[in-house]
Amino acid sequence: MFAVKEKLTRRAEELFQKQQEEIYVHTDQLFAKLMVCQWLAAIVMALVISPYTWAGQSSAIHIHVWAAIFLGGTISLFPIWLTRVWPGASITRHVIAIAQMLMSALLISITGGRIETHFHVFGSLVILSFYRDWRVLIPATIVVGLDHFIRGIYWPYSVYGVLMATPWRSIEHAAWVVFEDVFLVISCFRSIREMRSIANRAAALEAAVHANQSIMDNSQDVICTVDEDGRFLSVNAACEQLWGYKPDELIGRECLDFIYPEDHAKTKQARADLRGSGKIGNFVNRYVRKDGSLIDILWSASWSEADRITFGVAHDITERKRAEEEVQKLNQALEKRVHERTAELQTANRQLQNDIIERKRAEEESRLLQTMRWWKNSGR
């Protein structure tokens, strides 16, 4: 029992790890696409918002454009490369978390610290929680906090859109990020519990299915399901040994196609009785094997009204029927011989009785004759 439980636990852990790995890889792919879109969006925003910088009559391409192209590419290309080289790896998602926050900082800088762009930070944290790994939120939060604090002191306009800002403003922004992190961490832990619960149920279901399949494969009896029209839906491998047909030769065909014609009527009646009572346990009919020989089948079946399906188990009782027939023939022969012997004894008894009667009559006649002779001799 302990070994079975341990095996079930190992399988549940394998399923959990597999599902977790799939989530990591799929989320990596999501961020790879997101990085490209963000990079292009940063370039477009830089070109639209401030494509040029002016110094009197002369102009030049704004530093935001170059930052969007080159800095945005640097931030985006490395994590994209990691998603191809090490998909699902821990380092990949941590680098993505850092890069995503750096991209948020770049977008905030390009837009001149617009408050609306700060929502990119909070949205990015939510998307990072898709990993269901709370640890990726740590480097992301650190990057956001340091970015706001350093730029808030030295370049407040690039992050807040104002020329001067106190450190408390950066602390306030960091506090709101931590506030969101708390609930995202709770969500991650809850998701992990749900994943483990799903893995445990899946492992238990696999074990049940395996046990059921083992019973189906090793059973000497035919185990099958039949729809309400009498067509086979599923049949185990024992049908080939019992009837000579492989499962795929039976599935989709009517049971009556394989039943001895003389048993069709009582089979239809048994089917009607089954739907009325829900169960039958001692119904016998004859099936025609693939080689043309007949086989006697004892059926045990139940009807599911909800699924409109019959679940049946067919047991071969051909040998038992033959033995019963032989015993019946022997009994009949014995009864016949007993009857004949009884008749012979009765005949012999009647003959004996007749012989006794004849002997008594002869003895009476002999005594009477002797008496008459004695009287005759006495008269002389």
Question: What is the structure's pLDDT at 38?
Answer: 94
Which pLDDT belongs to residue 51?
64
Residue 128's closest CA among 99, 105, 159, 85?
99
pLDDT, tens digit (0-9, with 9 covering 90-100), for 60-88: 677 778 888 999 999 999 999 999 999 99
Q: How far is CA 9 from CA 13, 14, 149, in A?
A: 6, 9, 47
**Model pLDDT for residues 290-322, shown as the tens digit of each residue:** 999 999 999 999 999 888 899 999 998 888 878
Q: Is the predicted pLDDT of residue 55 greater than 50, yes or no? A: no
Please state the three-class secondary structure of 285-334 as a single string: EEEECCCCCEEEEEEEEEEECCCCEEEEEEEECHHHHHHHHHHHHHHHHH
Residue type, 34: L
Could you identify the residue written with the tokens 């012979």? Answer: 344
Handedness of CA 81, 86, 89, 90 (dihedral sign): negative
pTM value is: 0.67
Cα–Cα distance for residue pair 22/36, rounded to 1 Å? 22
What pLDDT is attached to residue 53?
54
